[in-house]
């Protein structure tokens, strides 16, 4: 293959195809599961309890709610997937879990949101046309990415590289230390500059608008089905990032170098690859993705604080392990599956247990699946096949 071959179309389309497949697959599996459960429980006390309050049968209730649950599950799943890629990239190359990634995500969110708040104070946001609103959002995304990317590279240089030869546990502890340090640095900086560290994404553009796809009849009322513009932005941006990363790793020279370092650091170095540079690059890519995910997260969920990274980070890490850590495609699958599971559990748990265990227990559900997967398939759903390893 000539070194500057034309764009490798296959590598561009493949991840999008995979995403579609994973989304449809997990959506239909979970939907089927929930529907079967609903049909079984319909004639029992559970069905009667629901009928008493909502005036519909359990099966109808479940069916009518399904489309919205799938949309919500996908949105959060893509956010998890984008963060999970950062964990998986670093694990693939260094075989170590970068626990500071959740704070790198948080820093991205803060930089993006602070920029937008500053723009809001100048009055630019309120008067912005639709095009300009998107331009500002893109700017915030880029700034969040740049800050998070730079931070990730710095953290690697300062806290991990000196420990490259040390036992596996040492950089892990260092990563946890960096994670706590960064949380408090954000707290300190926000406390000193703005006096409060509870930041709120300004409202502008048409991001909050909801595109209605229709209304589904449910007993006496109708249930609206729709997707907000910001969810579409989140999904689109995540798909673009995932496809871009996949292309970079699997179809470019740089990606080849990354894969070589992942397979065998010493040999790669003998082949003339600058291993330290490639490791920095891995962190830079992970940081860029994490930063973008942070800004998208803030856009979707409005409010951020210095500990905002903790739960999404933990879930994304889980997603990476679920899919098979070190495996890019696995991170996508893990993210989507986890997001779906969580949303399905959260939406239907309350109804199926007659309110005894509500959506607050959604995480138990998601994490028990993780335990089951790890027990029966320790390498994760996709495993760690080396050709894919980033």
Partner 1 sequence: MPKTTLSLCSLLAAAGMTLILSLHAVAAEPVKSIKIASQSPLSGDQSAVGVDIKRGAELALEQVGKPLADMGFKVELAPFDDQANPDTGVANAKRIVSDPAILAVVAHFNSGVHIPSSEVYHSSGLANVSPGTTNPKVTTRGYAEVNRVVGRDDVQGVVGADFAASRGVKSVFIIHDKTAYGQGIAEFFKKRAEEKGMKVLGFEGTEEKANFDALLSPVIAGNPGLVYFGGIYPQGAVLFRQARERGYQGMFMSDDGFDSSDAAKIAGQALLDGAGTYYSTVSGPASVYAGAAKFIQDFKAKYNADPQPFAAQGYDAMAICLKAIEQAAKAKKGEVPTRAEVTQAIRAIKDFAGITGTFSFNEIGDPTMAQYFVLNVKSADPAHWNENSVVETLNLAPPK
Neighbours of 250 (CB within 10 A): 21
Please identify, using beta-carbon distances, which residue of 227 and 245 lies nearer to partner 1. Answer: 227
Nearest-approach distance from CB 176 to partner 1, in angstroms = 21
Q: Is 120 in the site for partner 1 (CB under 8 A)?
A: no
Please identify, using beta-carbon distances, which residue of 76 and 81 lies nearer to partner 1. Answer: 76
Both tokens of 79, joined, read 């956010």
Position among 43, 44, 193, 196 found at the interface with partner 1 (CB under 8 A): 196
Angle at the Cα of 199 from the Cα atoms of 198 and 200, rounded to 5 degrees:
125
Nearest-approach distance from CB 345 to partner 1, in angstroms = 7
Binding mask 358-387 for partner 1 (x = CB under 8 A): xxx-x-------------------------
Spell out where 255-373 has E strands: 303-304
Stretch that binds partner 1, among 26-34, 98-106, 259-267, 353-361 (CB under 8 A): 353-361
Q: Is 218 in the site for partner 1 (CB under 8 A)?
A: yes
Stretch that binds partner 1, among 3-11, 59-67, 94-102, 271-279 (CB under 8 A): 59-67
Stretch that binds partner 1, among 68-76, 99-107, 140-148, 256-264 (CB under 8 A): 68-76
Residue with tokens 């990634």: 101
Nearest-approach distance from CB 369 to partner 1, in angstroms = 15
CA distances from 117 to 74, 108, 146, 191, 288 (A): 28, 14, 18, 16, 21
CA distances from 11 to 8, 14, 38, 243, 250 (A): 6, 5, 41, 8, 7
Neighbours of 19 (CB within 10 A): 25
Is 145:66 a contact under the CB 8 Å cutoff?
Answer: no
According to DSSP, the β-strands at 221-228 and 210-218 are antiparallel
Nearest-approach distance from CB 129 to partner 1, in angstroms = 20
Nearest-approach distance from CB 54 to partner 1, in angstroms = 6
Q: Is 214 in the site for partner 1 (CB under 8 A)?
A: no
Nearest-approach distance from CB 20 to partner 1, in angstroms = 21
Q: Is 53 in the site for partner 1 (CB under 8 A)?
A: yes
Question: CA torsion sign, 366 to 31 to 379 to 387?
Answer: negative
Q: Determine the Cα–Cα distance for residues 382 and 307; give it in Å rounded to an integer.
A: 31
Q: Is 221 in the site for partner 1 (CB under 8 A)?
A: yes
DSSP letters along 129-161, please? -HHHHHHHHHHHHHHHHHHHHHHHHHHIIIIIG
Residue with tokens 């690859």: 273
Please identify, using beta-carbon distances, which residue of 76 and 284 lies nearer to partner 1. Answer: 76
In this structure, the dihedral spanned by the alpha carbons of residues 288, 291, 292 and 293, taken in order and rounded to 10 degrees, is 120
Nearest-approach distance from CB 347 to partner 1, in angstroms = 4
Nearest-approach distance from CB 198 to partner 1, in angstroms = 5
Q: Is 297 in the site for partner 1 (CB under 8 A)?
A: yes
CA distances from 354 to 44, 72, 274, 304 (A): 11, 23, 60, 33
Is 26:337 a contact under the CB 8 Å cutoff?
Answer: yes
Position among 94, 104, 257, 351 found at the interface with partner 1 (CB under 8 A): 351
Q: Residue 365: beta bridge partners?
A: none
Over its C-alpha atoms, the chain yields an Rg (Å, rounded) of 22
Q: Is 23 in the site for partner 1 (CB under 8 A)?
A: no
Site for partner 1 in 125-184 (CB under 8 A): none
By CB under 8 A, name the binding residues for partner 1.
Answer: 53-54, 61, 64-65, 68-69, 72, 75-76, 187, 191, 196-198, 200, 203, 208, 210, 212, 218, 221, 223-224, 226, 228, 297, 300-303, 305, 308, 342-348, 350-351, 355, 358-360, 362
């Amino acid at each position: 293959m000539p070194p500057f071959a034309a764009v490798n179309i296959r590598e561009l389309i493949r991840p999008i195809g995979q995403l579609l497949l994973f989304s449809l697959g997990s959506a239909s599996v979970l939907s089927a599961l929930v529907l079967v459960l609903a049909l079984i429980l319909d004639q029992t006390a559970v069905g009667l309890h629901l009928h008493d309050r909502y005036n519909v049968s359990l099966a109808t209730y479940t069916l009518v709610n399904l489309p919205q649950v799938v949309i919500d599950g996908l949105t959060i799943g893509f956010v998890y997937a984008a963060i999970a890629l950062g964990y998986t990239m670093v694990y693939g190359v260094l075989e170590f879990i970068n626990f500071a990634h959740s704070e790198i995500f948080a820093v991205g969110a803060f930089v993006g949101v602070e920029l937008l708040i500053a723009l809001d104070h100048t009055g630019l946001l309120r008067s912005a046309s639709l095009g300009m609103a998107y331009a500002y959002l893109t700017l915030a995304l880029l700034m969040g990415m740049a800050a998070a990317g730079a931070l990730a590279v710095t953290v690697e240089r300062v806290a991990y590289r000196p420990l490259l030869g040390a036992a596996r546990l040492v950089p892990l502890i260092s990563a946890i230390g960096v994670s706590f340090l960064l949380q408090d640095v954000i707290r300190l900086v926000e406390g000193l500059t703005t006096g409060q560290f509870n930041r709120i994404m300004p409202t502008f553009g048409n991001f909050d608008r909801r595109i209605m796809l229709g209304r589904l009849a449910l007993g006496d009322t109708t249930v609206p089905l729709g997707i907000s513009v910001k969810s579409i932005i989140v999904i689109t941006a995540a798909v673009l990032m995932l496809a871009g990363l996949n292309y970079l790793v699997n179809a470019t020279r740089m990606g080849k170098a990354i894969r070589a370092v992942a397979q065998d650091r010493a040999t790669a170095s003998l082949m003339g690859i600058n291993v330290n540079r490639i490791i920095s690059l891995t962190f830079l890519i992970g940081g860029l993705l994490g930063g973008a995910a942070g800004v998208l997260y803030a856009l979707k969920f409005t409010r951020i604080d210095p500990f905002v990274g903790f739960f999404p980070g933990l879930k994304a890490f889980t997603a990476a392990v679920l899919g098979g850590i070190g495996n890019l495609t696995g991170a996508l699958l893990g993210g989507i599956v986890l997001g779906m599971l969580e949303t399905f559990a959260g939406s239907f748990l309350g109804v199926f247990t007659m309110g005894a265990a509500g959506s607050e227990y959604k995480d138990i559900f998601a994490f028990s699946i993780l335990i089951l997967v790890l027990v029966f398939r320790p390498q994760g759903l996709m495993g760690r096949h080396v050709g894919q390893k980033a």
